[in-house]
A and B are shown apart, each in its own frame.
Chain A
Amino acid sequence: MAAVMPVPAASRVLMSGNEAVARAVWEAGVKVAAAYPGTPSTEMLEVISSYPDLYAEWSVNEKVSLEVAIGAAYAGSRSFCCMKHVGMNVASDALMTLTLTGVIGGLVIAIADDVGLSSSQNEQDSRYWGRFAHVPVLEPADSQEAYAMTLYAYELSEKFQVPVILRMTTRINHVKSLVTVGERNEFVGAGFKKEPARFVMVPGNAGKRIPLMFARDIKLRELAESAELNFIEEGSDKRVGFIASGPAYMHVKESFPNAPVLKLGFSWPVPFEKCRELAAMVDQVVIVEEVEPLVETELKAQGLNVIGKEILPLQGELSPNVLKPAIARLLGEPVTETTALAPMQVFPRPPTMCVACPHLGVYYTLSQVRNLNISGDIGCYTLGAGHPWNALDTCVSMGASMGVALGMDKGRGEADKDKRIVAVIGDSTFLHMGMQGLLDMVYNKGNVTVLLLDNRAVGMTGGQNNPGNGYGIHGEDAPRVDFAKLVSALGVKDERIHVVNPYELPVLFKTIREEVKVPEVSVIITDQPCVLVKDYHKLKPFEVIDDKCTGCGNCIDVGCPAIHVTRRGKEVKPSGREVDLAFVRIETSVCTGCGLCVQPCAPKAIVHHVQTSPIQLVTKGGCAA
């Protein structure tokens, strides 16, 4: 993002949680911020990069981003790192030792849990990391809190020389609400001091740091007991008192305005005495937390008689329409029937690949080649698992397509002996965690055909730049990795490396079909950009000559959303077999002329569109609201 003028202090602005954290990072005088994109965390670093006076980078993966932040914090500067929940799994190796060394300058790690799986391969509760790594966890309930807690986290981090986790969820990251912003404060770092007993974590040194970590836990718990972020709100209806954190707090207040509530903003270490204080005020205590019963389990271990996941779901978001009936049942009250209609039955509308997406050519081709087991990965191309292609058979974690493909090859049983193993991975995912898997595959002599889909962007998260596209975080020129040379250096034979244009279906088809027959590692690199990035150039749109369309439906199998059925029919083949026909048109206003649908059209019914409509001639300039 290009630099913008920050809004003045004391302004009250509508901000997402991500924007609020970014503002606070800038105000806190952070010098280094690093991240790998991932929904719902992406906009934090995107917005940070638009502020002046700091260094921001897209790192190749979350572990590297945390390590960059660690280095800056060791150097005495304030640093920031953010990631989605699964990113923390990748970064955790660094975290587990960082907790022993601690920091000099403040280090805040914002982790965005995709509660409800809007765009993730699993659901996780990142509050575990606080317990696992013995670092404090703060949980905002709206954008204003996300802003204020980020500022507080830097003070906390420096006071205890400990990294601090800011645990957010989709419903904090992406919800926009009002935030009153403040002034920026310059933070002058102390500079790096050589202190091997602290910063060189060999067994002899690390062992001496562990007791310090445990002592820190005790001090942090004392602070949590008195911290302003943990407070009790009294209420007149004392039948049930609630302990809640994050967005769940808002749902509790919305649903039970008269109930006593202990709000946990500083949620680990859990302030046990505060919890006992609430318990003494009410008949029953219900813990309302998304996702895992963490506070609940710890309070039960303390001997407190509390209720939690016995009556609330372990999965997904909580909301007033989950909480109200659960509490009514607990109290033995009738559950108020909702006045809402039953939802009407409407077809599903799953996410699709974009019009003219270069992946369409790849998946159309894969869907036409028989006998493949296809190990997939994480990105837009995961959509290849859906209709009409059904050409992706596994998706586990970032970069997993490589190792899983090798395992499918080495572990193949009699039933799969004639199957060809294909791995599909995007450029950014390959650089994130796929390179090591390919190296492993080559070294261990796998029989896998790798499709490396280089679309020159982190597509799914909005087209961020990466080392594969030659642009830095601000769009400036940056060194660009040469994928063919890279895979060659990893040991793939040069005759097994092919760079192909995914819009040239015959070449792609021939290359894939030949390479899957070769019993060693091949890499086929596709080289056309994502249609949403600036390097993509639109071409003249196509249209269908209605008289020529035979209704064969081959073009529909490409899966481009610009192709629409105008009418359906049936035809009896000479063999007596009845086939369905679907006659089509192309939405020329969105077609960008990639030509993929033209290639499987036998009657040559798809031709360049002749512009006649005045709608095509309007001025450019982003009229859309």
Chain B
Amino acid sequence: MSDNTNILVVGIGGQGVMTATEILAEAAIALGHDAKKTEVAGMAQRGGVVSSHLRFGKRVLSPQITPGTADVLLGFESAEAMRWQHMLKPGGITLMNTARLVPPVVELGLFDYPEDPLAEIRKSGNKVVAFDATTIAQNLGDIRLGNTVMLGAIADHLPFGAEVLLDCVLKRFQRKGEKLVELNRRAFAAGRAAVGEAAAALA
């Protein structure tokens, strides 16, 4: 239905795209929304393309986001963010990690990796905010914090407050100790700040 919010999370197998989408779904459900989450993953465990669809609202029927209807595109990888631009609705926004994960078919010289995916997206007229989630995570001490950075990045582009999403992220780490909870809290804040700064610089 048209009152649904459509979030598209994209990346490659192994990056944690599906888990990130699941946490977003949990946040939507915590606020009383109906939600459906689905993937076009294929054999994604083997480094293939993953696009995870989340739809939420009063009632969700079809689980798939159709081209031209995504409100937000959260890209875990630059070329993947570019690959799915046609899914965004007019006025929709892309929040993308600038990481470039180059597959073997490119290393073999069979295909080229786009020179500047961010520029290509800008050229298309779609709104885009880019940030380096991988470096942010590294600076916090663990590259695996990248997923929480990504969730922080989308926090201010949802039809609900960032706190609910943060709670859902931190719930995942509660059993693993206060240190990890704190690290993830900082990663979430860093992702939020990175998008805020990049967006402000553009404005």
Contact = CB atoms under 8 A, between A and B. Distances in A.
A171 B82 contact: no
B159 interface: no
B105 A341 contact: no
B67 A176 contact: no
Contact of B46 (A142, A347, A353): A353
A625 interface: yes
A568 interface: yes
Contacts of B108: 387-388, 556
Interface string A568-608: 10000000000010101000010000000000000000000
A615 B112 CA distance: 30
B43 to A, nearest CB: 4
Interface string A198-209: 000000000000
Interface in B43-99: 43-49, 60-64, 66-68, 79-80, 82-83, 85-90
Contact of B39 (A174, A354, A462): A174
A618 interface: yes
B110 A387 contact: yes
A432 to B, nearest CB: 19
Question: Which of the listed residues A320, A341, A582, A625 has the most CB atoms from chain B within 10 Å of its own CB?
Answer: A625
Nearest to B41: A118
Interface stretch (A27-35, A250-258, A441-449): A250-258
Contact of B44 (A351, A387, A589, A621): A351
B39 to A, nearest CB: 6
A254 B61 contact: yes
B190 to A, nearest CB: 13
A8 interface: no
A601 B107 CA distance: 17
A624 B147 contact: yes
A175 interface: yes
Residue from the set B19, B86, B87 with the largest chain A CB neighbour count within 10 Å: B86
Nearest to A322: B66
Contacts of B47: 349, 351-352, 354, 561
A255 B41 CA distance: 24
A623 interface: yes
B144 A623 contact: yes
A326 interface: no
B144 A350 contact: no
A320 B61 CA distance: 11
Given A176-B22, A347-B111, A625-B147, A352 B104 contact: yes
Contacts, number: 197
Interface in B4-57: 12-13, 16, 19-20, 22-23, 25-26, 29, 34-49
Residue among B61, B124, B141, B147 facing the most chain A CB atoms (10 A cut-off): B61
A251 B62 contact: yes
Contacts of A185: none
A559 B103 CA distance: 10
B198 interface: no
A346 B138 contact: no
A563 interface: yes
How extensive is the interface on chain B, given as a class?
Answer: 35 or more
Given A351-B48, A625-B23, A171 B63 contact: yes
Contacts of B142: 615, 618, 623
B87 A340 contact: yes
A621 B40 CA distance: 28
B107 A625 contact: no
Interface residues of A, number: 63
Given A343-B86, A348-B105, A350-B105, A321 B35 contact: no
Contact of B172 (A174, A460, A625): A625
B139 to A, nearest CB: 10
Contact of B67 (A171, A321, A388): A321
Residue of B13, B109, B120 most packed against chain A (CB within 10 A): B109
Contacts of A14: 22, 25-26, 29, 35, 37
Interface in B158-203: 169, 172-173, 176-177, 180, 183-184
B182 to A, nearest CB: 12
Contacts of B144: 618, 622-624
Interface of B: 1, 12-13, 16, 19-20, 22-23, 25-26, 29, 34-49, 60-64, 66-68, 79-80, 82-83, 85-90, 102-114, 120, 124, 126, 138, 141-148, 150-151, 169, 172-173, 176-177, 180, 183-184
19 contacts: A118-B41, A118-B43, A178-B29, A178-B34, A251-B61, A257-B1, A321-B67, A340-B87, A341-B88, A341-B126, A344-B83, A346-B80, A347-B113, A349-B12, A387-B110, A564-B107, A565-B107, A582-B107, A589-B143
Given A352-B48, A615-B141, 20 more contacts: A14-B35, A39-B43, A171-B63, A175-B36, A176-B25, A176-B38, A177-B36, A254-B1, A319-B62, A339-B68, A344-B124, A354-B47, A383-B46, A556-B107, A561-B104, A582-B107, A623-B173, A624-B147, A625-B150, A625-B169
